[in-house]
């Protein structure tokens, strides 16, 4: 190949053989230049023809962490790496406020927590349906459903439960940033994990809903037969049986069942919708 790549360049992709070089300035890389290659005899440049061009060893690129665009806060730690200094936040010209204006609603997460059998998923579906009928866009992140895909590699050990909740919170944050009302329904038994989730969101955008249903009521319902299996020792670390559930101390909404009176899911959903209306989330 007769092409010559001039000046310090980071690792990029270019087409294959027989090419001429040309500079392409990228302001966000502090004056560093990128090169591209043009295939002789062809104007087509496609990803299937691209191959990497090695960066010069003396490349010096100054990178900045600018993550404020997603929620208006400084979110520098967007990676699990100890020092993620090699990544930057790429700002989009279309931001959360623009998307909210388009949808005529405000993005947030409604985090429904409670024991297995407390009615989390049922209320989540009733809430989604109620908001849909009002012309509002929602998405449900159900704890069981997410474990079929994104979190299928996680067990129910304490550390995996924490990672399960972290991943769901990050996905919920993306939905909220898109202007969508995200409904997350999962046991999320530990207070500290829920507090970590709350810290990801701007003030007010994490709405914690506690399904305050006594253990004996949940166990009598046992819609999936899990309590029976846990009592028989066939499931270990089951919340409420041999693993604790830590109720929220300062949640936004409590949906409580008193005695034998079972509040209909639609009525519970209306309680949450009333909260969203009061706080201005159903308008932009």
Cβ burial, residue 193 (10 Å; 0-12/13-18/19+) = buried
The catalytically annotated residue of 116, 128, 185, 188 is 188
Active site residue 188: yes
Q: Please work out, in degrees rounded to the nearest 5, the angle formed at the alpha carbon of residue 178 by the alpha carbons of 177 and 180.
A: 100
Phi first, then psi, for residue 49 (nearest 5°) are -95, -5
Let me know: does 141 contact 184? Beta carbons within 8 Å.
yes
Q: Positive or negative CA dihedral for 176, 177, 179, 180?
A: negative
d(CA 116, CA 217): 10
For residues 86 and 119, give the distance between their C-alpha atoms in angstroms, rounded to a whole number: 44
Q: Alpha carbon 172 to chain centroid distance?
A: 3
Identify the DSSP state of 185.
E
Residues with catalytic roles: 188
């Amino acid at each position: 190949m007769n092409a010559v790549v001039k000046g310090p360049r980071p690792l990029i992709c270019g087409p294959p053989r027989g090419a001429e070089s040309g500079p392409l300035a990228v302001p966000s890389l502090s004056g560093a230049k990128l090169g591209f290659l043009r295939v002789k005899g062809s104007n087509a440049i496609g990803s299937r023809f691209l191959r990497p061009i090695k960066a010069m060893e003396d490349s010096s690129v100054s990178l900045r962490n600018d993550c404020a665009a997603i929620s208006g806060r400084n979110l520098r730690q967007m990676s699990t790496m100890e020092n993620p200094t090699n990544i930057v936040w790429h700002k989009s010209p279309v931001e959360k406020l623009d998307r909210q204006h388009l949808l005529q609603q405000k993005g947030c997460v409604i985090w429904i927590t409670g024991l297995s059998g407390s009615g989390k998923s049922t209320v989540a579906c009733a809430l989604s349906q109620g908001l849909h009928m009002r012309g509002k866009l929602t998405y449900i992140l159900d704890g069981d459903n997410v474990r079929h895909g994104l979190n299928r590699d996680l067990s129910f050990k304490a550390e995996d439960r924490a990672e399960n909740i972290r991943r769901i919170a990050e996905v919920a944050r993306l939905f909220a940033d898109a202007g969508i009302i995200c409904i997350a329904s999962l046991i999320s038994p530990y207070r500290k994990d829920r507090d970590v989730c709350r810290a990801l969101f701007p003030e007010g955008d994490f709405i914690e809903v506690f399904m305050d249903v006594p253990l004996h009521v949940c166990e009598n319902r046992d819609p999936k037969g899990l309590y029976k299996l846990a009592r028989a020792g066939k499931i270990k670390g089951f919340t409420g049986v041999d693993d604790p559930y830590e109720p929220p101390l300062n949640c936004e909404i409590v949906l409580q069942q008193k005695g034998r009176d079972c509040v209909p899911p639609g009525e519970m959903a209306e309680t949450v919708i009333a909260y969203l209306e009061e706080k201005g989330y159903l308008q932009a």
